[in-house]
């Protein structure tokens, strides 16, 4: 008899669903990727759906309704970016208590529309329902150029370098500030809190990586190490990370102190891109991102042989370090039910 969700975790549960639901044999869906990818007519479509739940993904006392609207769309657009795709439209289901203010719904859609306009993703429709807690579910549809010109998790090769866009740990620092677990003021505080409340999906970066020849990638939603483990497991390889090379904001240590490197490795919700490519392709990708004025791209490690999806952390002298935490799993009984705590 199957046990509880917390026994098999979020990803064990996804595996069961993937084995049980109907899909057309012609669709060749891969439930491991950030978005579903399938051929339709002459083109290749992608679609993703993601929910934000009050007191799991945000608190009403630390997020404005504009923030919730922005973030609910942003996390979905990030999954489109993670495939190297272009968003074409979104559907929004909003569940909230009947005693909510009309102005709150207005503010929610104001925040969402701001990002929708920036990302040229029209809100096509949706649903409203009453609920004791606020819950938002967004579905985004998009396109990729072809079934080959796309980022997938399952195609990393031994010898590939591992790259990430931007800096890591900022969203975790923002959460620490919002929860009162860290203190810093001024524009630094605002920068980290914005990373937590209003992440910027790396859509242009995802497309630039594909154009540069990168084929393996995903977004970092649950933490660098745990997301790299997923990529490695999907590809049947392992990986090494040089901890000193993981890019961080110069002020991260001022916010998180000794917890800085642990959060750069394990903090969730940065929504940067994680990808692998042979060194020559990686250089091309770095050049392209620089030329287009997009996010920086930093090499943080390499793909090595090993089928278990193992990620080894290396210190300054190449020594193997003990893991210092883990990323986020929605059904992990040991996890604090709040993203980014780790
Ligand atoms: Mg994702």
Ion ligand 1: residues, Cβ under 5 Å: 34, 79, 219, 221
Provide the CA 16 distance to its chain's centre, in angstroms.
22
* Cα–ligand 1 centroid distance for 76 (angstroms): 8
Quickly name the fold that domain 5-144 has. 60s Ribosomal Protein L30; Chain: A; (3.30.1330)
* Cα–ligand 1 centroid distance for 158 (angstroms): 23
Please give the C-alpha separations between residue 31 and each of 24, 46, 72, 225, in angstroms, as whole numbers: 14, 12, 21, 20
* Cα–ligand 1 centroid distance for 305 (angstroms): 24
State the chain's mean pLDDT as an integer: 92
* Cα–ligand 1 centroid distance for 103 (angstroms): 31
pLDDT higher than 80, residue 57: yes
* Cα–ligand 1 centroid distance for 47 (angstroms): 12
* Cα–ligand 1 centroid distance for 141 (angstroms): 14
* Cα–ligand 1 centroid distance for 102 (angstroms): 32
* Cα–ligand 1 centroid distance for 34 (angstroms): 4
| Residue ranges, CATH 3.30.1330.10, the chain | 5-144
Measured in degrees and rounded to the nearest 5, phi and psi for residue 189 equal -60, -45
**Residue environment code for 185-205, b if the CB has 16+ CB neighbours within 10 A, otherwise e:** eeebbebbbebbbbbbbbbbb
* Cα–ligand 1 centroid distance for 82 (angstroms): 7
What tens digit of pLDDT does each residue of 217-271 get? Answer: 999 999 999 999 999 999 999 999 999 999 999 999 999 998 899 999 999 999 9
| Residue ranges, CATH 3.90.650.10, the chain | 161-321
* Cα–ligand 1 centroid distance for 267 (angstroms): 14
pTM, two decimal places: 0.91
What tens digit of pLDDT does each residue of 139-151 get? Answer: 999 999 998 999 9
* Cα–ligand 1 centroid distance for 70 (angstroms): 17
Q: Are 110 and 90 in contact (CB under 8 A)?
A: no
Which option is the CATH number for 161-321: 3.40.50.300, 1.10.287.110, 3.20.20.70, 3.90.650.10? 3.90.650.10
pLDDT higher than 50, residue 339: no
pLDDT band at 25 (very low <50, low <70, confident <90, very high): low
């Amino acid at each position: 008899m199957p046990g509880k969700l917390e026994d098999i975790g979020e990803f064990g549960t996804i595996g069961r669903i993937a084995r049980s639901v109907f899909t057309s044999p012609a669709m060749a869906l891969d439930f491991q990727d950030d978005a579903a990818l399938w051929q339709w007519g002459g083109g290749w479509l992608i679609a993703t759906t993601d929910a934000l739940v009050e007191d799991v993904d945000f608190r009403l006392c630390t997020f404005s309704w504009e923030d919730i609207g922005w973030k609910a769309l942003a996390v979905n657009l990030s999954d489109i970016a993670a495939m190297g795709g272009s968003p074409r439209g979104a559907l929004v289901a909003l569940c909230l208590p009947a005693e909510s203010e009309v102005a709150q719904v207005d503010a929610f859609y104001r925040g969402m529309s701001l990002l929708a306009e920036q990302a040229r993703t029209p809100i096509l429709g949706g649903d409203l329902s009453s609920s004791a807690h606020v819950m938002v579910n967004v579905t985004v549809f998009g396109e990729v150029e072809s079934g080959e010109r796309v980022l997938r998790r399952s195609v990393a090769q031994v010898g590939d370098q591992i790259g990430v866009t931007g800096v890591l740990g900022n969203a975790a620092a923002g959460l620490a500030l919002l929860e009162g677990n860290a203190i810093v003021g001024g524009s630094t505080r605002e920068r980290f809190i914005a990373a937590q409340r209003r992440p910027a999906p790396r859509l242009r970066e995802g497309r630039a990586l594909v154009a540069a020849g990168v084929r393996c990638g995903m977004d970092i939603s649950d933490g660098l190490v745990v997301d790299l483990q997923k990529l490695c497991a999907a590809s049947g390889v392992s990986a090494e990370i040089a901890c000193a090379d993981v890019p961080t904001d110069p002020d991260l240590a001022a916010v998180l102190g000794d917890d800085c490197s642990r959060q750069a490795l394990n903090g969730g919700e940065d929504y940067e891109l994680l990808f692998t490519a042979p060194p020559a392709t990686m250089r091309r990708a770095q050049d392209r991102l620089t030329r287009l004025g997009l996010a920086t791209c930093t090499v943080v490690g390499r793909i090595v042989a090993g089928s278990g999806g193992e990620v080894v952390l290396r210190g300054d002298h190449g020594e193997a370090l003990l893991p210092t935490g883990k990323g986020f799993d929605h059904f992990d009984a040991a996890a604090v039910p709040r993203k980014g705590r780790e």
